[in-house]
Amino acid sequence: MTTLAIIGASGLAREALALVREVGELTPVGVFDDSAAILGADFDGLPVLGTVDDSASSTADLLLVCIGSGASRHGIVGRLGQLGVPGDRYATVIDPSVRNPRGCPVGAGSILLANVVITAYVKIGQHVVVMPSCVLTHDTELASFATLASGVSLGGGVEIRTGSYIGMNASVFPRRSIGEYAVVGMGSVVLEDVPPGETWAGVPARLLRARTFEASR
Task: Please provide the DSSP assignment of 54-119 as one string.
Answer: GGGG---SEEEE--S-HHHHHHHHHHHHHTT--GGGB--EE-TT-B-TT---B-TT-EE-TT-EE-
Do 196 and 180 meet the contact criterion of CB atoms below 8 Å apart?
Answer: yes
Candidates 209, 162, 163, 185; CA nearest to 172 is 185
Average pLDDT per block of 10 residues along the chain, 217 residues long: 97 98 97 96 98 98 97 97 98 98 95 98 99 98 99 99 98 98 98 97 95 52
Q: Which of 89, 115, 138 is the last residue of a domain?
A: 89
Q: Which of 62, 89, 116 is the last residue of a domain?
A: 89
pLDDT tens-place string over residues 64-75: 999 999 999 999
In a domain, 7, yes or no: yes
Question: Is the pTM higher than 0.85?
Answer: yes
In a domain, 208, yes or no: no
Examine the domain organization and report whether 166 and 181 are in the same domain.
Answer: yes
Q: Taking the chain, what is the end-to-end CA distance rounded to the nearest angstrom?
A: 33
Candidates 35, 184, 192, 66; CA nearest to 129 is 66
Distance of CA 140 to the CA centre of its chain: 16
Expressed as residue numbers, the domain containing 195 is 92-203
Do 4 and 20 meet the contact criterion of CB atoms below 8 Å apart?
Answer: yes
